[in-house]
Amino acid sequence: MLHQMLSYFKGYTKESILAPLFKMLEASFDLLVPFVMASIINIGISNQDTDFILRRCAVLVLLGIVGLVSSITAQYFASKAAVGYATALRHSLFHHIQTLGFSEMDRLGTNTLITRMTSDINQVQSGLNLFLRLFLRSPFIVFGSLVMAFRINRDAAMIFVVAIPLLAVAVFGIMLVTIPLYKKVQEQLDQVLGITRENLTGVRVIRAFTKEQSEVNRFETANSILTALQKKVGRISGFMNPITYVIINLAILAVLHTGAVHVGIGDLRQGDVIALVSYMGQILIELIKLADLIIQMTKAAACAGRVSSVLQTKPAMEFKTIPTDREKWNDAVRFEQVSLTYPLAAGKSLKDISFCAKTGQTIGIIGGTGSGKSSLVHLIPRFYDATSGNVLLFGRSVRDYSKKELRRLTGIALQKSMLFQGTIRSNLLWGKENATEEELWHALHVAQAEEFVREKSKGLDEPVEQDGRNFSGGQKQRLTIARALVKNPKILILDDSTSALDYTTDAALRRALRNLPVEMTTFIVSQRASSVRYADQILVLEDGSLAGIGTHEELLRSCRVYQEIYESQYKKGGKQECR
């Protein structure tokens, strides 16, 4: 994991070295300030030498300016390295997610991936920025102050030798107690964010069922737990200041006492005592900074581990890179004893499915909720791999096709209509990047979307909001069908993508598909008997098994499941649908 995460530093080695070096340069100037102040007191003030005081003040100003420039330079290089690293990591993570199959996406979950992409990588970026600026500076100041104290007076420096370990025990002891609590705070924060995200995405459902108050109560409960954890961490962390200030003040009293004795006997001057007190203050500040850095680095390391776990998730499916020479076969799709079990599922979603779809046929797939309709058609473009059995396209296994060729052969309108922010044109061009205006309008005509698109003031260039929020459910479904048709696929899959259409539009769509001049094999997944009754073959699924196969008339005579579906939707004496 470490080697993988460090690989994203490529191109930022120079910045990663220069940032801490400039911070050490700044720290060196900080260590010189008490020394210069001591000379002002010992020589300038004692001898009332104004010129000497002014010269030393000029030196202090110069040290401040050079230190500021060094600090800004270090911050620039640290930020450049941290932001560049986070950018490279985010790009790599996004690219890797695009390679994952449906199985991996189902297992990881959308919310988790969004958190990894945003919050976790931002935390890694912040931790890296702090690390580059402080991981050398703080220890350098602590040991540098100790060395300068020994340079001033050995007896006084021994107070530093005692005070530094005591301060370290106090600071890092409190830190070790709070780090696990900070992790619990982060986990509870994830729950609060999850509730917030769920409420924002499901706001219409919440209002429809007047559940606003119950959701407010649920949020307040989770938020109260988060608040209690943060208060607990705050109370423990609050001990740091009083404990450290007691230790530092006792140390300063010891320094002043020792200094007074040595000043009295003449081997130490007043300015040296002031310098020792200044060094003691610097040590305290840097130890607290170092403790904060370790806490931030702990959080960043945990987040880096979460990101790395996604990067280490390998797609289960492997595609051939060389296109397959597809021979001319009359069988467009053939299932041979196909079964499917989802990862971590209790049982099979599909069981021993066998059928054959000829080129140009329309295949209807019908069954109750959870019967396996979508699972079956998702095996055709190889969104999932069959657990057993074989899925053949034009006489070859789907495993023998490259991903590009497999996607070119199949066009699919998924159960959940998804449009992307842009225009109608940009969404349709997903099917075929170089499609002509004529091809786009033809696809819209077949999908029964031409009329409402022409009514738009900008036509094909009408804006589409995120997730197609400015279109109705039926309009979105027709646009997604048109997007699938633009690529002119050999196999078209409509995965319950006409559920929002009225019966007249649904019938017109099916007539238009049948009248297409190309030999397109069409799979229509639906819970409506009227949507599949004129198909060349109808597959009836029940609990993942093939309960029946045949034409509408054959199934009405022989298939109990189909009879029940038909009778529940299309009773005797009802109005006959026009073909």
Q: With contact defined as beta carbons under 8 Å apart, do 333 and 396 qualify?
A: no
pLDDT in tens, 354-383: 999 998 899 999 988 888 898 999 999 998
Q: How confident is the model at residue 265, as a pLDDT? A: 80
Distinct helix (H) and strand (E) counts, the chain: 23, 12
Instruction: State the pLDDT at residue 325.
Output: 58
pLDDT value for 578: 42
Farthest CA pair distance, the chain: 120
The predicted structure's pLDDT at residue 225: 93
Evaluated on CA atoms 106, 108, 109, 114, the torsion sign reads negative
Pairing of strands 388-393, 396-397: antiparallel
Instruction: Tell me the mean pLDDT per 10 residues along the chain, length 579.
Output: 74 88 90 87 84 90 92 93 92 90 80 82 90 86 86 84 84 81 79 85 89 93 92 84 83 84 80 86 81 79 84 81 60 92 83 92 90 91 90 89 87 88 92 89 92 90 89 90 91 87 87 83 89 90 91 90 86 47
What pLDDT, on a 0 to 100 scale, did the predictor assign at position 324?
Answer: 56
pLDDT of residue 352: 92
Output 81-84 pairs: Cβ under 8 A, ≥24 positions apart.
Answer: 81/9, 81/12, 81/15, 81/16, 81/19, 81/128, 81/132, 82/125, 82/126, 82/128, 82/129, 82/132, 83/125, 84/11, 84/12, 84/15
Domains of the chain: 2-311 (1.20.1560.10), 331-569 (3.40.50.300)
- pTM of the entire predicted model: 0.76
Beta bridge partners, 357, equal 333
Rounded Cα gap, residues 257 and 23, in angstroms: 34
SS (H, E, C) 154-209: HHHHHHHHHHHHHHHHHHHHHHHHHHHHHHHHHHHHHHHHHHHHHHHHCHHHHHHC
The phi-psi region of residue 274 (left if phi > 0; otherwise alpha if psi is between -120 and 50; otherwise beta) is alpha
Pairing of strands 410-413, 396-397: unpaired
- pLDDT tens-place string over residues 270-287: 888 888 888 888 887 887
In this prediction, residue 318 carries a pLDDT of: 78
Spatial contact of 141 and 283, defined as CB atoms under 8 Å apart: yes
Burial class (CB in 10 A: 0-12, 13-18, 19+), 324: middle
